[in-house]
Amino acid sequence: MPKVTIDGHEIEVPAGTTVVRAAKQLGVDIPVFCYHPGLSIPANCRMCLVEIEKSPKPLPACYTEVTEGMVVRTRTEKVAATQKSVLEFILLNHPVDCPICDQAGECVLQEHYATWSTKPSRLFHEKVAKPKGKILGPTVVLDAERCILCTRCVRFTEEVTGTYELAVQDRGEHAELTNTPNKVLDNPYSLNVVDICPVGALTSREFRFRRRVWFLDQRDSVCTGCARGCSVRVDSHGNQVERVLPRYNPDVNKWWMCDDGRRVFEVRKTRVLSAGKAPGTSGAPREVNALDGVRALAAWLQQAKTSGGATGVALSASLTNEDVYAWGRLAAASGAKVYVLDRTAAQGDKLLRLADRDANRAGTKAILDTVAPGWGGAVELAKDAAGLEVLTVVDHDIAVTDALAKAFGDVAHLAVITDLSGPLADAAQVVIPATPLHNREGTVVNADGWVQRLASPLKAPVGTVAPHVAAAQLAQAVYGLELDFADRTRPAQLFDHIAATVSAFQHLDYVEVGDLGRGLTNGGDLAPRRARTEGTPEWEPDPVAPTYPRPFALRRGA
């Protein structure tokens, strides 16, 4: 491997490593605009020019590969003068409307200017005017006067999605980003161009002018829209999700996510948040909270226990591992039959989206195979429904087919723990409002066996209950069982019980899973982290990705 010296520090890197990546491993910051590790390298912004010994002129660090004995200098007078000239050129026709720009607080141009230039403009004539608020497609708006022509968005539509919806037309100071002829920016990954735009040129039509970024609370989480389980960052304010961004994870989704995944965190108007229905004293339904619903279900289960009636538990394949484990243990201890129900399948693609929309099918199967072997699916539930005295459905957007609807009607007593209204809730005699999936913590396993942690970006609505807590309450109230968890057991503690019981989770713990996840162990050694250590060539998140808004952090005294 070649050795290179950067600002007096020597490092050995694999052949083919670019100077900017080698410098990053040494902690040397080289500013960039057009460069993105997930795209081709055009080297057109010239912001990353550095001096290389024996080279007659500065070279772009993003494109130049290291060679044996190369000596690189990034802090010379010539480099500084080059950076200031590049920034002056970029800002020549830029409107500098930072106070009203949607990118304020996370603008790379703003940060680079403050760090590498602060040189006043020498332009005295009128700036070139370009379109503002131009609609590129259903999700994205262009303010062309802010565009610095880094071509990140163009390369994304060419190289990642292959849809070729964006291009640069004209030349010189009149060059402008626009749609290609007879096309609009309308693909399943269109909002990624907003994420990778280093300035405020491309903005989301939904998030535009909604909230200043330094007011946002940011939490790392996982998308549960399909079995891919993309790593995401959830930005919220006032207990409301404002936007969702992809989070770099080399083992799952790299730098991208689909547009549908951003809507998974939206609070739907059909949510059951604080009330369900349970039999009243006269037999008519009445509004109740989660605790009353659990009590009504407990009374049914107690009656079935006394009479020897059969009971069943139907679990969504998108519940957390902690929920599945708790209900699996309860079912095994009470003799209830366990069924796993699916979401409606969707259209997958070759990039990220999977047809399987269940976020935790792999984890559900691994846990139930251990704690409740012999579990079945929708077919088995349809056969057994008529013989069940009580069926408890722990729902997360289960697809209610005609066969399942008939099965639910055949059950003597149907209780549903859910956060969504719909056909399933309408068919139940008891609806227990569940804490929505993204209002609580937990873990899920994606289609590749990668375990990741869900965050809790929002506070749980009052009057709801987490499914694993409901399972613990029923175990104690009906069967007098003190399982290895209680209703106050946190997901982190419950995950430790899973790791101690289920061989696929052996050697894992909640802290070890971390923000980027870990692979199932299948009873053996820990799965490798695959491109996880900072300092290796594979580790390279977006160098200009939005960071934690500095103004808010400074204002709080951080």
Reported as a single tens digit per residue, the pLDDT across 46-96 is 999 999 999 999 999 999 999 999 999 999 999 999 999 999 999 988 998
**Taking residues 170-194, what's their average pLDDT?**
94
Instruction: Determine the Cα–Cα distance for residues 283 and 498; give it in Å rounded to an integer.
Output: 40
Q: Which residues pair with 434 in a beta bridge?
A: 465
Cα dihedral: 439, 442, 447, 449 (round 10):
160
Please, what is the Cα angle at 46 between 95 and 143, to 5 degrees? 25
Q: Mind listing the pLDDT tens digit for each residue in 533-542?
A: 444 444 455 5
Instruction: Determine the Cα–Cα distance for residues 48 and 41; give it in Å rounded to an integer.
Output: 12
**Taking residues 106-134, what's their average pLDDT?**
85
Instruction: Determine the Cα–Cα distance for residues 62 and 21; give it in Å rounded to an integer.
Output: 8
Q: How far apart are the first and last CA of the chain?
A: 41
Inter-residue contact 257 to 232 (CB < 8 Å)? yes
Instruction: Determine the Cα–Cα distance for residues 339 and 353; give it in Å rounded to an integer.
Output: 26
Under DSSP, the state recorded for 385 is G
DSSP string covering 161-175, please? S----EEEES-GGG-
Inter-residue contact 502 to 328 (CB < 8 Å)? no
Q: Report the 10 Å Cβ neighbour count for 294.
A: 24
Please, what is the Cα angle at 434 between 431 and 435, to 5 degrees? 160
* Number of Cα atoms under 13 Å in the Cβ half of residue 228: 26
> pTM for the full model?
0.89
Classify residue 310 as exposed, middle or buried by CB count within 10 Å of its CB (0-12, 13-18, 19+): middle
Under DSSP, the state recorded for 3 is E
Q: Mind listing the pLDDT tens digit for each residue in 223-273?
A: 999 999 999 999 999 988 999 999 999 889 999 999 999 998 876 655 554
Q: Which residues pair with 142 in a beta bridge?
A: 134, 202
440: its two tokens: 């609580």
**Taking residues 461-466, what's their average pLDDT?**
87
- Is it the case that residue 548 has pLDDT exceeding 50? no
Q: Which residues pair with 430 in a beta bridge?
A: 415
Indicate the range of 244-258, 303-317, 480-494 predicted with least confidence.
480-494
Q: What is the pLDDT of residue 193?
A: 96
507: its two tokens: 């050697």
Task: Please report which residue ranges of 144-272 form alpha helices under DSSP H.
Answer: 152-159, 192-196, 259-262
**Taking residues 334-349, what's their average pLDDT?**
93
Inter-residue contact 543 to 35 (CB < 8 Å)? yes
Domains assigned to the chain = 3-90 (3.10.20.740), 276-519 (3.40.50.740)
DSSP string covering 93-122, please? S----GGG-TTTTS-HHHHHHHHHT-PPP-
Report helix, strand or coil for 222.
strand
Q: What is the pLDDT of residue 555?
A: 33
Cβ partners under 8 Å of residue 133, min gap 6: 141, 142, 143
Please, what is the Cα angle at 249 between 244 and 255, to 5 degrees? 60
Instruction: Determine the Cα–Cα distance for residues 554 and 550; give it in Å rounded to an integer.
Output: 6
Classify residue 54 as exposed, middle or buried by CB count within 10 Å of its CB (0-12, 13-18, 19+): exposed
- pLDDT higher at 477 or 541: 477
Inter-residue contact 157 to 194 (CB < 8 Å)? no
**Taking residues 318-344, what's their average pLDDT?**
94
Q: What is the pLDDT of residue 265?
A: 80
- Is it the case that residue 549 has pLDDT exceeding 60? no
Q: At what angle do helices 321-334 and 361-371 cross, to 10 degrees?
A: 30
Q: Phi/psi at 358 (nearest 5 deg)?
A: -85, 120
Inter-residue contact 216 to 197 (CB < 8 Å)? no
Report helix, strand or coil for 494.
helix
**Taking residues 179-200, what's their average pLDDT?**
95
Cβ partners under 8 Å of residue 462, min gap 6: 274
Cα dihedral: 484, 489, 493, 496 (round 10):
30
Classify residue 124 as exposed, middle or buried by CB count within 10 Å of its CB (0-12, 13-18, 19+): exposed
Inter-residue contact 319 to 417 (CB < 8 Å)? no
Instruction: Determine the Cα–Cα distance for residues 370 and 366; give it in Å rounded to an integer.
Output: 7
Q: What is the pLDDT of residue 281?
A: 47
Cβ partners under 8 Å of residue 143, min gap 6: 131, 132, 133, 134, 200, 201, 203
Helix (H) or strand (E) holding 276: strand 276-279
**Taking residues 289-317, what's their average pLDDT?**
92
Q: Phi/psi at 196 (nearest 5 deg)?
A: -90, -5
Q: Residue for token digits 């262009």?
A: 142
Inter-residue contact 96 to 88 (CB < 8 Å)? no
Report helix, strand or coil for 221.
strand
